Structure 1
Amino acid sequence: MSQETAPEPPSPDRIAGVLRGRIRSGELPRHGKLPTQRVLAEQFGVNRTVVRQALGILEREGYLSARGRGAPAVVTHPAQEGPRPAGLEVADRIAVAFQAADVSIDAFTLTTETLASALAGPLIAISAGELTPRSITVRLLLPSPDAPLAFPRLVSDPDDNRPRARLRQLIRTFATSLRHQLTSLAEMRLVPKVHVEIRCVPITPVQKLYLLNGSEVLTAYYQVVPRTVEYEQEQLEIYDVLGLSSKIFQDQGAAFVEETQAWFESLWSTLAEPLTLG
């Protein structure tokens, strides 16, 4: 007779997701008190440490007020409803993702600038011993530096190669720094297992996309704007995109996450090639 395997207890992120849904639906009303940590631990079948971690996630997101010692949390709402700029939202969601024991990030972006900035907080916390993930796996998809991309391009001459040469420099700078910062965690024995892989595809990304721990999708559209940049001591008027200020949309729906993961895998396993950073 086969023995059934007992289901794993829910993670702090999963518990936070359930409570977040109850707050958004009004089941847990604004200014109302949450059940005590003991009651929540019994509801979810976990210990109180896991509950405290889940409540900490919701506090950082603005759904709960700061809790006094032993007092039930009070429900609030995020100070700003709706999508927020990528520079803020990605950093907040990355911080939540790093609460997991095994962290995974799949990203398709133009330069990885936003991701590199968002990782700063968790990396400092790991170095200080405040976070102790068991593993970190990061897969980055970037546009091929030598492909004929739609942007960036010179406003007056689409065939001028200088904007794409500048983009190549940015990609290599940010991707090299990100890879070094992550792999150094393993070298310093702060994280037992770290895997970083960077590939490129001959596609112009029209939006940035992040898959966090296989359970959440963050996406934002790149809006094309004219702007002046400096390259090799010259001022260039180019069509470019501003990623840090683009509005991020979040989705934790299982069907959307699954389809997005399948889309990422289709690019990763077919058109993508290793990116040489030098």
Structure 2
Amino acid sequence: MTSHGSGPRGSQFRYVQLADVLRKEINEGTRVPGQRIPTQEVLAAQYHVSRSTVIQAIDLLREEGLVRVRQGSGTFVREIGDAAPAATAEAADAGDESWAVVSEDVPLVRLKPYLEEAFEATEVTLDVFSMTTESLATQVSHQKDRILDGAIRPPRSITARLILPDTDSGHLAIPRPVDGSDDPRVRQRMRGILTAHATILRESLYELRNRKLVQEVSVEVRLVPFSPQIKLYILNRRLALQGFYPPDLGNVTVAPGGEDVTILDAYGTGATLFPFRAAADSTPDQVGIVRQIQKFFENTWTHQATRADI
């Protein structure tokens, strides 16, 4: 769902929380492609965990394709395009369905370069289905700074539509205590995270309008009574990025009293994204993956989501 703060907490799931911190840094560009990750000793000292916790966290990031371990050299942030070769034409004849899989090893895709591309358009549209918009809020703030610094020409309009889970609903499957009970404190914690990031995103965009750099800005949030299992970014109705929220166990601290609660949560910050781009000559009446994703968003927005005052 989100990062857990400046460093790992709890005991049983410290490696998950450390991986979450490192994943967020990779996604935000703090740790850039090709950069060497600090040694196990340095990470253990920095985050006050054991070396075994660091090893487990790195293994988790390696399984997700975010880092590469080079024997004798260390661990490095995986570079975009650093993927296995695609399947050959001969492999397509190996079985009835082998042609459907090009490669199980996909290039690492991050939100940042695609959002930079989107903000260079005259009219920017952001349709997002997400758990908290944490990743998006950070990157939108960076795009605001690019405009303020004169790095790019301001677009004429920016429209953002966000679909987020309704934390007032006691039926959310995630986040929820591991025993399956409904703990309002867990939902309230999520509500605070969700509201904070949606507010950052909204204020970043409205600042551009208030400074008269962007003529038209619209930000609308709607809530659905369920937890998303996928995250979607549809940029300018031409590019769709899809990622997944793998459910996993984690420890969170809830108010009041600062009690640690073990919950089933979803960790999407820094998740691998899969891009789908509409062809340059495609028309609105053509069937394609981007059009189908847009239709999924529109139907969810219209039929299942209710307006929220965030």
**TM-score per shorter chain, which class?**
0.5 to 0.7
Deviations 1:27-71, CA, capped at 9 Å, x for gaps: xxxxxxxxxxxxxxxxxxxxxxxxxxxxxxxxxxxxxxxxxxxxx
Task: Please name the residue that 1:258 is paired with.
Answer: 291
Between the aligned partners of 1:259 and 1:245, the Cα distance in structure 2 is: 24
State the distance in 1 between where 2:249 and 2:107 align: 24
Is 1:186 aligned with 2:188? no
**Cα distance change on mapping 1:263 and 1:79 into 2, 3 Å:** closer
Q: Which secondary structure state, in structure 1, belongs to the residue aligned with residue 303 of structure 2?
A: coil
Runs of 4+ in 1 over 4 A off after TM superposition: none
Q: What is the root-mean-square deviation in Å for CA atoms of aligned residues?
A: 1.7
Aligned to 1:145: 167
Q: 1:80 maps to what in 2? A: 82
Counterpart in the other structure of 1:16: none
Distance in structure 2 (CA, Å) of the matches to 1:182 and 1:105: 12
Residue 224 of structure 2 contacts residue 306 of structure 2 at CA under 8 Å; is this kept in 1? yes
CA distance in 2 between counterparts of 1:123 and 1:177 reads 11
Three-state SS of the structure 2 residue aligned to 1:104 is strand
Distance 2:230 2:126 in 1: 16
Give the Å deviation of 1:136: 0.8
Q: Which residue of 1 aligns with 2:7?
A: none
Contact 1:209 1:219 in 2 (8 A): yes
Residue-by-residue CA offset, 1:223-265 (whole Å, 9 max, x unaligned): 0111111222221111111111321100114501111111111
Distance verdict in 2 for CA 1:253–1:192, change over 3 Å: closer
**Following the alignment from structure 1 to structure 2, what is the Cα–Cα distance between the partners of residues 98 and 209?**
17
Given the two structures, how large is their TM-score scaled by the length of structure 2? 0.61
- State the distance in 2 between where 1:193 and 1:203 align: 31
**CA deviation after TM superposition for structure 1 residue 83, in Å:** 4.3
Q: State the distance in 2 between where 1:209 and 1:239 align.
A: 21
User: Does 173-182 or 105-114 show the bigger shift?
Assistant: 173-182
Assess if the C-alpha contact under 8 Å between 2:224 and 2:304 holds in 1.
Answer: yes
CA distance in 1, matches of 2:307, 2:264: 27
Which residue is 1:210 aligned to? 233
Which residue in 1 is equivalent to 2:51?
none
1:245 matched residue in structure 2: 270
Asked if the contact 1:91–1:117 (Cα under 8 Å) also holds between the matched residues in 2, the reply is no
Displacement of 1:80 in angstroms is 2.6
Q: Write the distance in 2 (CA, Å) between the matches of 1:238 and 1:215.
A: 37
Larger RCO (CA under 8 A, 6+ residues apart): 2
Count of residues in correspondence between the two structures: 198
Give the C-alpha shift of residue 79 in structure 1: 4.3
Whole-angstrom distance in 2 between the partners of 1:249 and 1:234: 37
Contact between 2:80 and 2:107, CA under 8 Å: does it hold in 1?
A: no
State the Cα distance separating 1:159 from its structure 2 match: 2.4
Which has the larger displacement, 102-111 or 229-238?
A: 229-238
- Could you say which residue in structure 2 is the equivalent of 1:108? 129
Distance 1:201 1:157, change over 3 A: closer
Per-residue CA distance 1:128-147 (angstroms, 9 max, x = gap): 12222111111101111212
Structure 2: distance between partners of 1:244 and 1:121: 17
Change in 2 beyond 3 A, CA 1:158/1:185: same
1:168 and 2:201 matched: no
Letter in 2 for 1:178: L
Q: Secondary structure at the match of 2:222?
A: strand
Q: Deviations over 1:67-119 (max 9, x none)?
A: xxxxxxxxxx944342436xxx1112111111111111100000010111121
Alignment of 1:50-129 (within 5 A): 78-81=80-83, 82-84=106-108, 89-129=110-150
TM-score of the two chains, using structure 1 as the length reference: 0.68
Quick one: which amino acid aligns to residue 137 of structure 2?
A: A
- Hey, what's the Cα distance between the residues in 1 that align with 2:149 and 2:214? 12
One-letter amino acid of the structure 2 residue matched with residue 186 of structure 1: R
Q: Distance in 1 between matches of 2:190 and 2:223?
A: 13
Contact 2:159 2:219 in 1 (8 A): yes
Shift in alpha-carbon separation, 1:227–1:97, aligned structure 2, 3 A: same
Name 1:221's counterpart in structure 2.
Answer: 244
Query: How far apart are 1:124 and its partner, in Å?
Result: 0.6
